[in-house]
Structure 1
């Protein structure tokens, strides 16, 4: 259905080339949306939602991933307002609004009066990327995770998620689904671990990847091992291995207040390329 006044409609597989051309204007910032489009071919049953496009004179000028996450793609403030209008026309199923700061802010300003209070709002997140060899020596002990790591890796993933988001990923009976997601990343060889004897002392995952970029999530060191440089050398190893195997550019985003993590990423060689914002329900 086309929202004529705003030029917004649901995209289908036939729109995939035009969507990829649009998102390809910034393939690192848009890596999540590109990954989702390529793996689902924009089919709603695989997306678990929809991908919306906004058109002017028949040309796609912006898009928005509308599934569990609401993610604007190449959206101006005006585009974000148009996507907000469409979002308000349906029951809210999104748990997170995330993406470039200006677009998320504009979208949020339109919906905030009707969606209720979010659980958390993070307005200043630094989007970082590296497309060169790391600036510090990689930890040679970092390797791809395997299924035998799951008894120690899964609790670490739960601990990291709970610390970062503020609620357990197992809450509301979602433990089996989260365990399956962790196992899926291990099965894809997208999980990285470092052990000291039997103790897991560093872990990180690839959240999504395309031919242009791979986005890292879930970077974690146990609290009693922090301050020992494990995150710096561990991330250097992740960058080295991901660039060799998956994509030439490695990206992530980090809260502005997480000074220790930002300092570690800077030592590795990450530089800021954009500002993100996240609203969580």
Structure 2
């Protein structure tokens, strides 16, 4: 039996409490906050989690699974719930302790992991970037889908190790890239009908914007394109929200050096388990 006394779908009456919980760390919890902003009951993907003493935490169990304010006991109850519930998730992301606290209890039925990133600095920026911006950075348009899609797919292959345009996932991935273009969330530098630089707004809340998909075309790497390009994108992003955030693999020294040169500071540590 699913432990409904500890884990249950969020209801409209829970929404104020849920938002308060997520706002305890608006940068780390920006994905959850964005999902709460879109909440429509019933939504089986947003869960309220409790423990034996009545403390509360949150979970989102969609394509990306993440938690907020969950103790180890709450993660145990969540794992029990997920073990008896059909979920379709491709990754567990979030604060490192939470990710591994949950993963060790769900790996028996969700595993094996395809990829584990155990140390991902979570960084944020609240001031103007410290690098002079490239004035040619702009938002890509939906009409440029066929131009942006190959660049996005190449970035995905480099980062994740699989081709998002393979038959099983091509339609979904194409729709996601188009959605970002329609929402005005993809910033590009285009030269000679080629995407030279790209950065996406992966998550957006009233307070925090999370950058994802930062990429420079291979033949243009090493020419100091990314700093001015990302600075320009960030300046435009800051018109949407005051805090810009991202997370990066600990072994990507070049990217970490770039982000620090822009003014980013580490505010936490994420981890990702990709299935």
Residue 158 of structure 1 contacts residue 168 of structure 1 at CA under 8 Å; is this kept in 2? yes
Q: Which residue of 1 aligns with 2:15?
A: 16
Residue 3 of structure 2 contacts residue 80 of structure 2 at CA under 8 Å; is this kept in 1? no
Residue 99 of structure 2 contacts residue 272 of structure 2 at CA under 8 Å; is this kept in 1? yes
The alpha carbon displacement at 1:2 in A equals 7.7
Q: Which residue of 2 aligns with 1:259?
A: 253
The alpha carbon displacement at 1:87 in A equals 1.3
The alpha carbon displacement at 1:64 in A equals 0.7
Secondary structure of the corresponding residue to residue 65 of structure 1 = strand
Residues 1:277 and 2:271 aligned together? yes
Query: Given the superposition, is the C-alpha separation of residues 79 and 108 from structure 1 closer, same or farther in structure 2, using an over 3 Å criterion?
Result: same
CA deviation string 1:201-241 (max 9, x = no partner) = 10011011111101111111011111212111111112111
Q: Which residue of 2 aligns with 1:36?
A: 35
Give TM-score scaled by structure 1 length: 0.91
Partner Cα distance (1:225, 1:42) in 2? 47
Residue 208 of structure 2 contacts residue 241 of structure 2 at CA under 8 Å; is this kept in 1? yes
Give the 5 Å matches for 1:139-150.
139-150=134-145
Unaligned runs of 5+ in 1: none
Q: When the two structures are aligned, how many residues end up with a matched partner? A: 275
Unaligned runs of 5+ in 2: none
Query: Given the superposition, is the C-alpha separation of residues 165 and 33 from structure 1 closer, same or farther in structure 2, using an over 3 Å criterion?
Result: same
Q: Which residue of 1 aligns with 2:241?
A: 247
The alpha carbon displacement at 1:65 in A equals 0.3
Q: What is the root-mean-square deviation in Å for CA atoms of aligned residues?
A: 1.9
Q: Which residue of 2 aligns with 1:88?
A: 83
CA deviation string 1:50-71 (max 9, x = no partner) = 1111235896621110122211
Alignment counterpart, residue 188 of structure 2, candidates 185, 189, 193: 193
Partner Cα distance (1:172, 1:16) in 2? 38
84-93 or 233-242, which moves further after superposition?
84-93
Give the 5 Å matches for 1:71-82.
71-82=66-77
Query: Given the superposition, is the C-alpha separation of residues 193 and 216 from structure 1 closer, same or farther in structure 2, using an over 3 Å criterion?
Result: same
Partner Cα distance (2:265, 2:9) in 1? 35
The alpha carbon displacement at 1:112 in A equals 2.0
7-16 or 270-279, which moves further after superposition?
7-16
Residue 202 of structure 1 contacts residue 231 of structure 1 at CA under 8 Å; is this kept in 2? yes
The alpha carbon displacement at 1:155 in A equals 0.6
The alpha carbon displacement at 1:134 in A equals 0.5
Residue 80 of structure 1 contacts residue 104 of structure 1 at CA under 8 Å; is this kept in 2? no
CA deviation string 1:110-147 (max 9, x = no partner) = 12233331111111111111011101111111111112
Partner Cα distance (1:30, 1:106) in 2? 17
Partner Cα distance (2:168, 2:107) in 1? 28
Query: Given the superposition, is the C-alpha separation of residues 172 and 250 from structure 1 closer, same or farther in structure 2, using an over 3 Å criterion?
Result: same
Q: Which residue of 1 aligns with 2:177?
A: 182
Query: Given the superposition, is the C-alpha separation of residues 90 and 2 from structure 1 closer, same or farther in structure 2, using an over 3 Å criterion?
Result: closer
Secondary structure of the corresponding residue to residue 94 of structure 2 = strand
Give the 5 Å matches for 1:128-207.
128-207=123-202
